[in-house]
Amino acid sequence: MKVFIQNIYLDASLPVGQNGRDFLVWLKKIIPASIQEGISDSDSCGLYITTKDLGAASSIQFWRDGLTNGFAFANPREFPATLSNYLSSLIAMQLAITGPNYTFVGQDAVHNDAFIQALLDLQLMDINECLIVNIAPLLTHSNSSDQQTVITHLVSENNVDGNTLASVKLCPKNNDTNKLKSIGEAICLLKKNASARRDYCIQTDTNNDLLIQPL
């Protein structure tokens, strides 16, 4: 099965605060209507969130509140925001996505892991498209070009609607010294240089590399 990148969305903003309402307001801003309009069938769409520290600030605040006022009096309203998969639930509800839903927590490699999982799911499960949302670090954000929230819309060959940016697939490892280590870097390069006919090979921790080929 061939898998294609339908579109890429980049956003450098951050939620104003760390509570549930702030996250919801931020989501409505960063997820453009074109994504929802582009999802042909929410039942056959997968959602993959990757993050380094989502929920960390809320956890710290919750424990601080508990230690200050006693846990019997800690405000439970914000407890859901302490969970890393809180945002994936909000996105799924906002876009009515009922397909597979994952949250990957870790360093840069988890973005690669999410892509690999999405490719496998598109081949093995009854889904036709995926949204992969890489959340920028919330506690160490520096507004640099590599610290953006990146939303990638993947579609299967049977679900292509209009033009696509590139194909993406797993390929056997090779000895190319120019391989990238982060698919996030490749995605940003592809978005900024869509007209450049350069293939991007991304090194992973599996027996395969990820290969992105612009169309």
pLDDT tens digit sequence for 172-187:
887 777 788 888 888 8
Q: What is the mean pLDDT of the chain?
A: 82
Task: Give the whole-number percent of the chain exceeding pLDDT 90.
Answer: 21
Residue 18 has a pLDDT of 65
Q: pLDDT band at residue 145, thresholds of 50, 70 and 90?
A: very low
Residue 140 has a pLDDT of 54
Please give the DSSP secondary-structure letter assigned to residue 12: -
pTM over 0.95: no
Q: pLDDT band at residue 19, thresholds of 50, 70 and 90?
A: low
**Helix (H) / strand (E) containing 152:** strand 149-156
50, burial (CB in 10 Å: exposed 0-12, middle 13-18, buried 19+) = buried
Q: Where are the domains of the chain?
A: 15-164
pLDDT above 90 for 117 = yes
Residue 194 has a pLDDT of 65
Pick the CATH number of 15-164 from 3.40.50.620, 3.40.47.10, 3.40.630.30, 3.20.20.60: 3.40.47.10
| Residue-level length of the chain | 215
Higher pLDDT, 63 or 133: 133
Residue 143 has a pLDDT of 45
Please give the DSSP secondary-structure letter assigned to residue 136: P
**Per-state percent for the chain, helix, strand, coil, to nearest 5:** 40, 25, 35
Q: Are 109 and 210 contacting, i.e. CB atoms less than 8 angstroms apart?
A: no
Distances (CA, A) of 164 to 6, 14, 129, 186, 214: 5, 28, 13, 16, 9
Q: Which residue has the tokens 């409505």?
A: 28
Distance from first CA to last CA of the chain, Å, rounded?
A: 17
Residue 41 has a pLDDT of 79
Q: pLDDT band at residue 144, thresholds of 50, 70 and 90?
A: very low
Q: What is the pLDDT of residues 56-76, one digit of tens each?
A: 666 777 777 788 888 787 777
